[in-house]
Amino acid sequence: MTNETTTPPLSQLAAIRLDFTALLSPTRRGARLARLLTVAELGSRGLPTESVAQVVGELAANAALHGRVPGRSFRLRVRTADAPGLVRVEVSDTRSERAPDAASPPQPPAAEAESGRGLLLVAALSERWGVTYGPSPCKTAWAEIALPAGTARTGSRSAATRWPATSRA
């Protein structure tokens, strides 16, 4: 018995409609559940899960760590993006004053640091990512991840073209 997953051709990827939302507790368990739900949802449609799940895990962990407000959940939304072959991940929380600095790329932490690499991973795995503000006091960290279309993507786009776009609503 083999456990291989094949990616549908690009023509089929464009036809796949994906849009699910979940409210989750701003805890480690909530971040883990966000990742597991994403894997289950994408897997049920025969879509590859690894890169999207990694981005969801990082953004959800940031919402649980930096965006936590007692008694308030964070919202996960995973959907097909406007461009074909892209999945858009959105994680919203209620701490807009604690947002990544969109003015400069994330800097690698010291080699011995135990944290601080999440946004570097998000930038590396996504085509684009950023932060949108509003309605107050909310912020949404988002990323668009390319799905492989039967062939491996080379990731040839420079990090500068993937750097976050920031908007205030």
Separation of alpha carbons 57 and 34, rounded Å: 7
Residue 132: in which H helix or E strand, if any?
Answer: strand 128-133
Convert the pLDDT of each residue in 89-146 to its tens digit: 999 998 877 666 655 666 676 777 666 678 888 988 999 999 999 888 889 999 999 9
Q: Is 141 left (phi over 0), alpha (psi -120 to 50) or beta?
A: beta
**φ, ψ dihedrals at 130, nearest 5°:** 180, -165
Convert the pLDDT of each residue in 7-58 to its tens digit: 555 445 445 688 999 999 999 999 999 999 999 999 998 888 999 999 999 9
Separation of alpha carbons 112 and 127, rounded Å: 28
Contact 129, 164 (CB under 8 A): yes
Separation of alpha carbons 94 and 139, rounded Å: 6
Task: Write out the two tokens for 116.
Answer: 């601080």
Q: At what angle do helices 118-125 and 50-66 cross, to 10 degrees?
A: 150
Taking 50 as the threshold, does the pLDDT of residue 159 lie above it?
Answer: no
Task: Write out the two tokens for 44.
Answer: 């049920």
> What pLDDT, on the 0 to 100 scale, is given for residue 113?
62
Separation of alpha carbons 6 and 48, rounded Å: 8
> What pLDDT, on the 0 to 100 scale, is given for residue 162?
41
Taking 90 as the threshold, does the pLDDT of residue 77 lie above it?
Answer: yes
Listed residue (165, 23, 133, 27) closest to 37, CA to CA: 23
